Structure 1
């Protein structure tokens, strides 16, 4: 029995296959703490998003803006049959319920200046903005001739202007719209829809001015976060946006005109032009006003890849870093005949896992580059000194230090790249495979003694 135990022990100690199986098993075991680190990164990222959402909610959420829109009530004739229970007879009841017609501008121009601001809460940061919008244009002659509504049923004296926005609490000024020569005060209405309604006082001179195109103009200052979008309700909608934010993302249904985008370290500028033929809705609606937010366009103010995203991307290469490092020690063990105990492999692997906890904890208080450098240098020094005690001499510890430093440097380059990350990663992995194949070419893999 003792002889069999000794024989098995010698096989584990000297067999290449046995040592490869042990290292492979240890690599799988080390994936457990690595997974815990990944979950920690995700948890911290979710906490960051919660704080940002809370901060943005207090400042002002995303802004979707639509307006102005002319709203004119009109009466319709509704007949219904009513049963009289006393006389047991049927009679017709005629009522005149009020409905509304909505008319969009002929021309709509939006000139916006966006001032961004970074808000910090504890260790977290969010980007908010204040937008100063100058809005002008004109309405066409309001014409009901295309409908079946009799002129005497139109309540011209109750016509009003509407503005719809997703962010009422972000408005920072008293809204007053100039319609021709009249000044209209705006007040909010209770609305359960995504876009809240602001309605003006009745347009007292509407019948007088409704004989020609009706000009309008107003300004609005609004606090918001995340994105600023406009709905192109004008038959011809033009928009200009200037901002001091350096990382915009132009999104929505329509992109800025070719050649109009200018993005640099000091901010950006862009302009849009949307015609009625470019979107799928008409210039007037009778009886209802649909939600047209799907046609919105504008800009999202984004923070370039933050520290948690970079840490998460770095952690995705954890399996490769641990696997290649253990492979280097295994090759050294096979070439030099130096015995490395499984416990020592585990210690090396745990040191590599500690790199990611150091990275995320330091990056919450410093830049990603500094955090990466400090975490990498710490783990590199720890493993190099530890391997010096295991491998003796300076030759193999220096090899370990060089290979691990090159691996961390390679991963950092990939993290910084965007468009070429896959290309550079593929070339790097190919080079690593070639080096491993070259280094292991003289090992006698058939030696199982």
Structure 2
């Protein structure tokens, strides 16, 4: 029995060593096996990225969230009358009773101009950082005397001495100055209106309400000029809602990577973006947006019409590491292909265990990349991880291949491959184009090198 099995085992082992098909199957199997640690590494990157986002959200919550300003809005009380009739059984007649109710009309300004200056900086916590800003916002404009007759409200039913002004914002906690509004040279302080539904940014905003505008008399004046200033600590974005019949916004900042968001874009003629910051101007007139200048009883949710600037963080370290890890299959596959072609053409035997060690070294690149990038920038982390892995595999190849030319070729190939992947990661609009061209060139080289291999040697 022993004499029968040994020749069969020797024959199978010899087939593994000499058969090209066997080596191809072995290499393919190892590539699939190495997808398991790659998937764990991808999960690690995702976990660290989510941790970063949690820390950023915590920093932003304490410093100040996104800034959205909706106002000023004139809050105008008026009287309405409700008649009720009751039947008197004794007198066999109807008694009419009139009740007076006070409701509110909300009037938007005729003109609204805003100057915004945002100074950005970074806040760090541990290995993570968040981009935040302090913005000074100044508003001025005017209200014209409200005319509610078209809505069925008589002028004598309006309670002029109880006029107030409202301002809504998404970042009440981030306000850093006492709030006053100047109307026709008289100052009126603001107080907070509590709104228990302020957790949903998309639907509810915090309210600031002024005291009664006692010095404003629309009976003798057709216009009321206003101005006020707000200083915010904020993050993510700055937006306003264009409630003026004519609304203008001028924004400047030292932030070099703005993203203009919302329903309206800034004027191309005046927009400037440099490495030192940006400047942008908007102008929106009433026919550009589909809402009225006057509302009764309720203020509508007009958040969908907001516009402004998002303080965009360009692709961060975790996003770059995640994109790099997506090419892990390509790196391992091409590296194994180089070793396979060298083994096939030079007749040097490479054991499956040695392939496995090379594959594990390649996967270590991504853990090194993530861990180092948390303490440095992505470029330095990429260089350190890449040089370490290339040097390790080149030395290991030297011990396997017993020559110098093949390890040098492998080192140069890995250097070119990691450089190619880094270029793709940095590109956004042309990543697919450059990647496709690069893969085409790699395929052409492999086809050229392998054209003289005898694939029938099984």
Unaligned runs of 5+ in 2: 199-203
Paired residue for 1:23, among 16, 24, 27?
Answer: 27
- Give me the whole-angstrom Cα distance separating, in 2, the residues matched to 1:209 and 1:155: 11
What do the CA deviations read for 1:356-411 (whole angstroms, capped 9, x no partner)? 00011111111211111110010001100111111111121111111111101111
CA contact (8 A) 2:189 2:211 kept: yes
Distance (whole Å) between structure 2 residues aligned to residue 204 and residue 264 of structure 1: 47
After superposition, the C-alpha distances for 1:285-314 in whole angstroms (9 at most, x for unaligned) are 012110111100000112221111111111
* Deviation for aligned residue 1:77: 2.4
Report whether the alignment pairs 1:112 with 2:116.
yes
Q: What displacement does 1:134 show?
A: 1.3
* Partner in structure 1 of residue 327 of structure 2: 317
1:358 matched to which residue of 2?
Answer: 368
Cα shift readout 1:313-358 (whole Å, capped 9, x = no counterpart): 1111111000000011111111111111111111000000000000
* Partners of 2:117 and 2:280 in 1: CA distance: 11
Task: Report what 1:70 is aligned to.
Answer: 74
- What is residue 290 of structure 1 aligned with on the other side? 300
Q: 19, 32, 35: which one pairs with 2:36?
A: 32
The offset of 1:211, in angstroms, is 2.9
Q: Which residue of 2 aligns with 1:406?
A: 416
The CA distance in 1 between the partners of 2:174 and 2:431, in whole Å, is: 40
2:144 is the counterpart of 1:134: no
Partner of 1:426: 436
Q: How does 1:224-263 map to 2 (within 5 A)?
A: 224-263=234-273
Alignment match, 1:162: 166
Which secondary structure state, in structure 2, belongs to the residue aligned with residue 77 of structure 1? strand
Offset at residue 150 of structure 1 (A): 2.8
Deviation at 1:158, TM superposition (A): 1.2
User: Is this contact kept in 2: 1:41–1:308, CA < 8 A?
Assistant: yes
Give the Cα separation in 1 of the matches to 2:98 and 2:24: 91
Q: Which residue of the partner structure matches residue 449 of structure 2?
A: 439
Moved more, 6-15 or 166-175: 6-15
Match of 1:184 in 2: 188
Q: Which residue of 2 aligns with 1:143?
A: 147
Matched-pair contact (CA < 8 Å) for 1:142–1:210 = no
d(CA) in 1 for partners of 2:260, 2:343: 55
Contact 2:160–2:218 (8 Å) recurs in 1: no
Say if 1:9 and 1:94 are closer, same or farther in 2 by CA, change over 3 A.
Answer: farther
**Superposed counterparts of 1:44-63, under 5 Å:** 44-63=48-67
Distance between the aligned counterparts of 1:81 and 1:13, measured in 2? Answer: 105
**Per-residue CA distance 1:98-135 (angstroms, 9 max, x = gap):** 22101111110001111112111111111111111111
Offset at 1:182? 2.0
Indicate the SS of the match to 1:97: strand
Alpha-carbon distance, 1:267 to partner: 0.9
1:141 CA displacement: 1.9
Identify if the C-alpha distance between structure 1 residues 313 and 434 changes in structure 2 by more than 3 Å, giving closer, same or farther. Answer: same
Q: 2:312 aligns with which of 290, 299, 302?
A: 302
Q: CA RMSD in A?
A: 2.1
Verify the 8 A CA contact 2:343 2:350 in the aligned structure 1: yes
Change (3 A) 1:122 1:21: same
The CA distance in 1 between the partners of 2:18 and 2:87, in whole Å, is 101
CA distance in 2, matches of 1:96, 1:445: 98
Looking at structure 2, the residues matched to 178 and 349 of structure 1 have their Cα atoms a distance apart, in angstroms, of: 70
Q: Is the 8 A contact 2:323 2:425 kept in 1?
A: yes
Secondary structure (helix, strand or coil) at the match of 1:206 reads: coil
Deviations 1:71-121 (A, max 9, x none): 011222234577999x9x997764333221011111100011111121111
The answer to whether residue 214 in structure 2 is matched with residue 204 in structure 1 is yes
Aligned residues: 448
Distance 1:359 1:151, change over 3 A: same
TM-score w.r.t. the length of structure 2 is 0.94
Give the structure 1 partner of residue 201 of structure 2.
none
Aligned equivalent of 2:129: 125
State the Cα deviation string for residues 191-227 of structure 1 (Å, max 9, x = none): 1242111000001133346632211111111111110
Give unpaired runs (5+ residues) of structure 1.
Answer: none
- SS in structure 1 at match of 2:174: coil
1:219 alignment partner, SS class: strand
Separation of aligned partners in 2, 1:323 and 1:363: 25
- 1:180–1:209 contact (8 Å) kept in structure 2: no
For the 8 Å contact 1:69–1:102, the answer to whether it is kept is yes
Please give the alpha-carbon distance, in whole angstroms, between the structure 2 residues aligned to 1:83 and 1:306. Answer: 75
DSSP-derived class of the 2:151 partner: coil
